[in-house]
Amino acid sequence: MSLNCSLWQDNSLFVKRFAFAKFSEVTEQCSLLFTLILLMFLASLTGNALIALAIWTNPVLHTPMYFFLANLSLLEIGYTCSVIPKMLQSLVSEARGISREGCATQMFFFTLFAISECCLLAAMAFDRYMAICSPLHYATRMSRGVCAHLAVVSWGVGCMVGLGQTNYIFSLDFCGPCEIDHFFCDLPPILALACGDTSHNEVAVFVVAILCISSPFLLIIASYGRILASVLVMPSPEGRRKALSTCSSHLLVVTLFYGSGSVTYLRPKASHSPGVDKLLALFYTVVTSMLNPIIYSLRNKEVKAALRRTLGRRKVLNHG
């Protein structure tokens, strides 16, 4: 059901407020979806916060691989918090409006965390490549300074892309309709509401997707190609098993994140469907963020041990 844009304008020619479309006209469906998404959101926050805390408080995990994993957990927390709270409100309330400034802020932070995660996943793949293919030089080439630099670059690229894309899109005029056929201020649905020719903006979004999604993904593929070649010539079956085990969690996370992101931002505009886009967005904003801590903790003995120690210390403090 479309909203009357006059409700969201301040007596001017241009839209000053937007409103998110309803998920469903059936109250029971919205309530069920609210409950499911809230549970996944809480699981994601708890899991990622525990992993970051476990890595921070356990010196044995102060290595490049876990430094990047802690950064990934922080990105996931920011990623979900930039989108999910407003979506939960829209599911159970008629207050589905968002100001133009609020929408721009949400778009900036979502883009910042998403692009930073793309770059950080590539840095994590490079770290595994150095550890397995160049173990003798690993300590010097992946020093604390190098790891910090890679993390800062990842966050910096996300910030620059977020600022650039948000400023470019919100420099356009929006003259109605004002209903966003999505559950957050993502780039394609906001562009669909702009007045006039948006072809240049659409090209900019596609170019950024190519550079910030495809380029890191190709770097990841190249890194794991070299890793696989090195693993296949290892004389020890135990060495091969350990090398593949340390990479499998990261590969699974990469597949989930890049798979859903690529389908969303790299497929032709004509093939976009609001229903499919919403399902994909739910997957990469809620489901993957919830699954990442599970994947890393279940498949990594050191993370599981660190989590047990961290939770054990908290129980002691609570009983003390």
pLDDT at 106: 94
Q: In what order do the strands lie in the sheet with 97-99?
A: 97-99, 17-20, 179-180
CA distance 231 to 139: 20
Residues in the chain where the model's pLDDT stays below 50: 1-2, 4-13, 316
Can you tell me whether residue 20 is helix, strand or coil? strand
Q: What is the pTM of this model?
A: 0.85
Classify residue 138 as exposed, middle or buried by CB count within 10 Å of its CB (0-12, 13-18, 19+): middle
CB 24 within 8 A of CB 30: yes
Residue 97, exposed/middle/buried by CB under 10 A (0-12, 13-18, 19+)? middle
Mean model confidence pLDDT for the chain = 83
